[in-house]
Protein backbone atom coordinates (compact mmCIF):
# COMPACT_ATOMS: atom_id res chain seq x y z
CA UNK A 1 0.00 0.00 0.00
CA UNK A 2 1.29 3.44 -0.93
CA UNK A 3 0.77 6.15 1.65
CA UNK A 4 1.19 9.78 0.73
CA UNK A 5 2.51 12.05 3.47
CA UNK A 6 1.71 15.55 2.24
CA UNK A 7 3.15 18.09 4.61
CA UNK A 8 3.51 21.82 4.93
CA UNK A 9 7.04 22.87 5.92
CA UNK A 10 7.21 26.16 7.86
CA UNK A 11 5.80 25.96 11.38
CA UNK A 12 4.79 22.35 10.70
CA UNK A 13 8.02 20.41 10.08
CA UNK A 14 10.62 23.22 10.21
CA UNK A 15 10.92 26.22 12.53
CA UNK A 16 12.80 29.48 12.83
CA UNK A 17 14.27 30.64 16.14
CA UNK A 18 11.25 32.91 16.54
CA UNK A 19 8.64 30.17 16.00
CA UNK A 20 10.19 27.07 17.60
CA UNK A 21 8.75 27.84 21.04
CA UNK A 22 10.13 26.83 24.39
CA UNK A 23 10.97 23.44 25.83
CA UNK A 24 13.66 22.55 23.31
CA UNK A 25 17.37 22.52 24.10
CA UNK A 26 20.16 23.70 21.83
CA UNK A 27 21.58 20.14 21.64
CA UNK A 28 18.34 18.81 20.16
CA UNK A 29 18.41 21.18 17.16
CA UNK A 30 19.67 20.56 13.65
CA UNK A 31 19.88 23.29 11.06
CA UNK A 32 17.89 22.62 7.87
CA UNK A 33 18.12 25.94 6.00
CA UNK A 34 20.59 28.78 5.55
CA UNK A 35 20.11 32.24 4.11
CA UNK A 36 23.26 34.08 3.05
CA UNK A 37 25.36 31.81 5.22
CA UNK A 38 23.21 32.26 8.31
CA UNK A 39 21.13 29.43 9.85
CA UNK A 40 17.45 30.14 9.30
CA UNK A 41 15.33 27.03 10.01
CA UNK A 42 15.62 24.03 12.27
CA UNK A 43 14.14 20.66 13.16
CA UNK A 44 14.91 18.57 16.18
CA UNK A 45 17.37 15.79 15.49
CA UNK A 46 14.63 13.34 16.43
CA UNK A 47 12.27 14.83 13.81
CA UNK A 48 14.91 14.80 11.11
CA UNK A 49 15.77 11.20 11.81
CA UNK A 50 12.08 10.19 11.77
CA UNK A 51 11.59 11.98 8.44
CA UNK A 52 14.72 10.51 6.84
CA UNK A 53 13.79 7.01 8.02
CA UNK A 54 10.12 6.88 7.08
CA UNK A 55 8.97 3.46 5.94
CA UNK A 56 9.49 2.83 2.22
CA UNK A 57 5.71 2.53 1.78
CA UNK A 58 5.46 6.25 2.53
CA UNK A 59 5.92 8.89 -0.12
CA UNK A 60 6.90 12.23 1.43
CA UNK A 61 5.46 15.20 -0.46
CA UNK A 62 6.55 18.69 0.68
CA UNK A 63 3.62 21.09 0.19
CA UNK A 64 4.66 24.67 0.73
CA UNK A 65 3.70 28.26 -0.02
CA UNK A 66 7.43 28.94 -0.55
CA UNK A 67 8.47 29.63 -4.13
CA UNK A 68 10.72 27.08 -5.85
CA UNK A 69 13.86 29.09 -5.00
CA UNK A 70 12.85 29.45 -1.34
CA UNK A 71 11.98 25.74 -1.17
CA UNK A 72 15.32 24.69 -2.61
CA UNK A 73 17.15 26.36 0.29
CA UNK A 74 15.61 23.82 2.70
CA UNK A 75 18.20 21.10 2.25
CA UNK A 76 17.98 19.44 5.68
CA UNK A 77 14.67 17.69 5.15
CA UNK A 78 16.34 15.21 2.79
CA UNK A 79 19.18 12.84 3.31
CA UNK A 80 21.95 13.86 0.86
CA UNK A 81 20.51 13.53 -2.68
CA UNK A 82 17.26 12.05 -1.47
CA UNK A 83 14.90 14.73 -2.77
CA UNK A 84 11.46 13.22 -3.36
CA UNK A 85 10.11 12.81 -6.88
CA UNK A 86 7.39 15.43 -6.34
CA UNK A 87 7.14 18.67 -4.38
CA UNK A 88 4.38 21.27 -4.32
CA UNK A 89 5.55 24.90 -4.15
CA UNK A 90 3.94 28.36 -4.51
CA UNK A 91 0.95 27.00 -2.57
CA UNK A 92 0.01 24.57 -5.35
CA UNK A 93 0.55 26.80 -8.40
CA UNK A 94 3.68 24.81 -9.19
CA UNK A 95 4.34 21.06 -8.92
CA UNK A 96 7.96 19.98 -9.23
CA UNK A 97 8.69 16.56 -10.68
CA UNK A 98 12.33 15.58 -10.32
CA UNK A 99 13.09 19.23 -9.59
CA UNK A 100 11.35 20.68 -12.65
CA UNK A 101 7.96 22.41 -12.81
CA UNK A 102 5.20 20.49 -14.59
CA UNK A 103 4.34 23.00 -17.28
CA UNK A 104 0.78 21.84 -18.08
CA UNK A 105 -0.22 22.03 -14.43
CA UNK A 106 0.89 25.64 -14.00
CA UNK A 107 -0.53 26.68 -17.39
CA UNK A 108 -3.89 25.35 -16.31
CA UNK A 109 -3.74 27.20 -12.97
CA UNK A 110 -2.75 30.40 -14.82
CA UNK A 111 -5.78 30.09 -17.08
CA UNK A 112 -8.07 29.71 -14.09
CA UNK A 113 -6.56 32.78 -12.42
CA UNK A 114 -6.94 34.84 -15.60
CA UNK A 115 -10.54 33.76 -16.16
CA UNK A 116 -11.44 34.67 -12.56
CA UNK A 117 -9.50 37.94 -12.64
CA UNK A 118 -7.37 36.84 -9.72
CA UNK A 119 -4.08 38.04 -11.08
CA UNK A 120 -1.64 40.30 -9.28
CA UNK A 121 -2.13 43.45 -11.32
CA UNK A 122 -5.87 43.30 -10.58
CA UNK A 123 -5.15 42.86 -6.86
CA UNK A 124 -2.59 45.61 -6.28
CA UNK A 125 -4.99 48.56 -6.70
CA UNK A 126 -7.38 46.89 -4.20
CA UNK A 127 -4.53 46.52 -1.73
CA UNK A 128 -3.64 50.18 -2.17
CA UNK A 129 -7.25 51.14 -1.59
CA UNK A 130 -7.58 49.22 1.68
CA UNK A 131 -4.12 49.32 3.14
CA UNK A 132 -2.56 52.71 3.60
CA UNK A 133 -1.67 52.27 7.25
CA UNK A 134 1.81 52.62 8.67
CA UNK A 135 1.81 48.97 9.80
CA UNK A 136 2.18 47.86 6.18
CA UNK A 137 5.94 47.48 5.86
CA UNK A 138 6.18 45.98 2.38
CA UNK A 139 4.14 44.30 -0.37
CA UNK A 140 5.90 41.46 -2.21
CA UNK A 141 5.00 39.36 -5.21
CA UNK A 142 5.71 35.61 -5.27
CA UNK A 143 6.73 34.52 -8.78
CA UNK A 144 3.77 36.35 -10.30
CA UNK A 145 1.24 34.03 -8.57
CA UNK A 146 0.26 35.72 -5.34
CA UNK A 147 1.11 38.56 -2.99
CA UNK A 148 2.17 38.80 0.61
CA UNK A 149 2.32 41.84 2.76
CA UNK A 150 4.88 42.27 5.50
CA UNK A 151 3.08 43.75 8.47
CA UNK A 152 4.10 45.12 11.83
CA UNK A 153 2.26 42.68 14.09
CA UNK A 154 2.46 45.01 17.09
CA UNK A 155 0.36 47.56 15.27
CA UNK A 156 -1.68 45.26 13.01
CA UNK A 157 -5.42 45.59 13.89
CA UNK A 158 -6.39 41.94 14.46
CA UNK A 159 -10.02 42.98 14.90
CA UNK A 160 -10.15 44.08 11.26
CA UNK A 161 -8.92 40.75 9.90
CA UNK A 162 -12.43 39.33 9.43
CA UNK A 163 -13.43 42.41 7.46
CA UNK A 164 -10.37 42.16 5.21
CA UNK A 165 -10.95 38.42 4.75
CA UNK A 166 -14.55 39.00 3.69
CA UNK A 167 -13.72 41.93 1.40
CA UNK A 168 -11.02 40.06 -0.51
CA UNK A 169 -12.96 36.79 -0.62
CA UNK A 170 -15.62 38.62 -2.61
CA UNK A 171 -13.07 39.28 -5.37
CA UNK A 172 -11.64 35.75 -5.28
CA UNK A 173 -8.69 35.99 -2.90
CA UNK A 174 -8.09 34.02 0.31
CA UNK A 175 -6.24 35.71 3.17
CA UNK A 176 -3.87 34.03 5.59
CA UNK A 177 -1.93 35.74 8.36
CA UNK A 178 1.23 33.89 9.38
CA UNK A 179 3.67 35.69 11.63
CA UNK A 180 4.59 38.95 9.89
CA UNK A 181 3.17 37.84 6.54
CA UNK A 182 -0.36 38.45 5.32
CA UNK A 183 -0.92 36.31 2.21
CA UNK A 184 -3.34 37.12 -0.61
CA UNK A 185 -3.93 33.86 -2.48
CA UNK A 186 -6.08 33.38 -5.60
CA UNK A 187 -8.83 30.87 -4.84
CA UNK A 188 -7.68 28.71 -7.79
CA UNK A 189 -4.28 28.13 -6.18
CA UNK A 190 -4.66 25.47 -3.51
CA UNK A 191 -2.42 22.93 -1.87
CA UNK A 192 -5.30 20.43 -1.93
CA UNK A 193 -5.72 20.54 -5.71
CA UNK A 194 -2.03 19.97 -6.35
CA UNK A 195 -1.91 17.16 -3.77
CA UNK A 196 -4.78 15.35 -5.57
CA UNK A 197 -2.78 15.50 -8.79
CA UNK A 198 0.25 13.86 -7.15
CA UNK A 199 -1.94 11.35 -5.32
CA UNK A 200 -3.30 10.17 -8.68
CA UNK A 201 0.12 10.10 -10.32
CA UNK A 202 1.55 7.78 -7.67
CA UNK A 203 -1.68 5.82 -7.04
CA UNK A 204 -1.62 6.51 -3.33
CA UNK A 205 -4.35 4.75 -1.36
CA UNK A 206 -4.07 6.66 1.88
CA UNK A 207 -3.15 10.28 2.56
CA UNK A 208 -1.79 11.79 5.75
CA UNK A 209 -1.57 15.59 5.62
CA UNK A 210 0.00 17.98 8.12
CA UNK A 211 -0.12 21.74 8.45
CA UNK A 212 -0.65 24.75 10.68
CA UNK A 213 -2.23 27.61 8.71
CA UNK A 214 -5.52 28.40 7.00
CA UNK A 215 -3.83 27.69 3.67
CA UNK A 216 -3.33 24.08 4.87
CA UNK A 217 -6.91 23.38 5.93
CA UNK A 218 -8.19 22.32 2.49
CA UNK A 219 -5.25 19.94 2.22
CA UNK A 220 -6.07 18.38 5.59
CA UNK A 221 -9.75 18.12 4.69
CA UNK A 222 -8.86 16.10 1.56
CA UNK A 223 -6.67 13.66 3.49
CA UNK A 224 -7.63 10.46 5.31
CA UNK A 225 -5.80 11.68 8.39
CA UNK A 226 -5.06 15.34 9.08
CA UNK A 227 -2.54 16.52 11.66
CA UNK A 228 -2.85 20.16 12.65
CA UNK A 229 -0.18 21.92 14.71
CA UNK A 230 -1.72 23.36 17.87
CA UNK A 231 0.18 26.67 17.72
CA UNK A 232 -0.99 27.72 14.25
CA UNK A 233 -3.36 30.19 12.64
CA UNK A 234 -5.89 27.45 11.77
CA UNK A 235 -6.46 26.43 15.40
CA UNK A 236 -6.55 30.07 16.54
CA UNK A 237 -9.16 30.93 13.92
CA UNK A 238 -11.52 28.35 15.49
CA UNK A 239 -12.92 27.16 12.14
CA UNK A 240 -14.82 23.87 12.51
CA UNK A 241 -12.70 20.78 11.73
CA UNK A 242 -13.74 17.41 10.34
CA UNK A 243 -13.43 14.36 12.55
CA UNK A 244 -10.33 12.99 10.77
CA UNK A 245 -8.30 16.10 11.68
CA UNK A 246 -6.41 15.95 14.95
CA UNK A 247 -4.74 18.82 16.75
CA UNK A 248 -1.32 18.11 18.23
CA UNK A 249 -0.91 18.10 22.00
CA UNK A 250 2.39 19.98 21.75
CA UNK A 251 3.26 23.37 20.29
CA UNK A 252 6.22 24.75 18.36
CA UNK A 253 9.07 22.55 17.13
CA UNK A 254 7.89 19.76 19.45
CA UNK A 255 4.57 19.65 17.54
CA UNK A 256 6.68 18.85 14.47
CA UNK A 257 8.21 15.95 16.35
CA UNK A 258 4.77 14.73 17.41
CA UNK A 259 3.51 14.86 13.80
CA UNK A 260 6.41 12.74 12.54
CA UNK A 261 6.00 10.23 15.36
CA UNK A 262 2.34 9.87 14.37
CA UNK A 263 3.20 9.41 10.69
CA UNK A 264 5.72 6.71 11.55
CA UNK A 265 3.26 4.81 13.71
CA UNK A 266 0.42 5.05 11.16
CA UNK A 267 2.70 3.69 8.44
CA UNK A 268 3.49 0.65 10.61
CA UNK A 269 -0.22 0.01 11.15
CA UNK A 270 -0.87 0.04 7.39
CA UNK A 271 1.93 -2.29 6.48
MG1 LIG B 1 3.05 26.60 7.73
- Ligand 1 (single-atom ion) residues, CB below 5 Å: 8, 10-12, 212-213
pTM confidence score? 0.95
Question: Which one, of 190, 196, 264, lies nearest residue 227 by Cα?
Answer: 264
Beta bridge partners of 175: 184
42: exposed, middle or buried (C-beta count within 10 Å: 0-12, 13-18, 19+)? Answer: buried
Name the CATH topology of 3-109+189-269. Answer: Rossmann fold (3.40.50)
Question: How high is the pLDDT of residue 270?
Answer: 80
Q: How far is CA 169 from CA 103, 175, 204, in A?
A: 28, 8, 32
154: exposed, middle or buried (C-beta count within 10 Å: 0-12, 13-18, 19+)? Answer: exposed
Q: How far, in Å, is the centroid of ligand 1 from the Cα of 8?
A: 6
Q: Of 69-73, 134-138, 152-156, 267-271, which one has max mean pLDDT?
A: 69-73
Question: How high is the pLDDT of residue 124?
Answer: 93
Q: Tell me the Cα Rg of the chain.
A: 18
Distance CA 114, CA 120 (A): 10
Residues 136-148 have a mean pLDDT of 94
Q: Is the pLDDT of residue 269 over 90?
A: no
Q: What is the pLDDT of residues 10-66, one digit of tens each?
A: 999 999 999 999 999 999 999 999 999 999 999 999 999 999 999 989 999 999 999
CATH 3.90.1070 fits 117-186, yes or no: yes
Question: How high is the pLDDT of residue 38?
Answer: 96
Q: Is the pLDDT of residue 83 over 90?
A: no
Q: How far, in Å, is the centroid of ligand 1 from the Cα of 239?
A: 17
Kindly list the domain boundaries of the chain, sorted by start residue. Answer: 3-109+189-269, 117-186
Amino acid sequence: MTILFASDLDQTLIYSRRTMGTGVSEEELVEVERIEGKPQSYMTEKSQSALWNLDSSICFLPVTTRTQAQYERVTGIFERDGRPRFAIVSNGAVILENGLPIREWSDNIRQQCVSRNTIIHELLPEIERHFTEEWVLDVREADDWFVYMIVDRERFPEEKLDFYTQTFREIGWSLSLQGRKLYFMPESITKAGAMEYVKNRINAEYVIAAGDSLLDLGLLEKADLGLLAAHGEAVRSKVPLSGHIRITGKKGIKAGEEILEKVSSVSLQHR
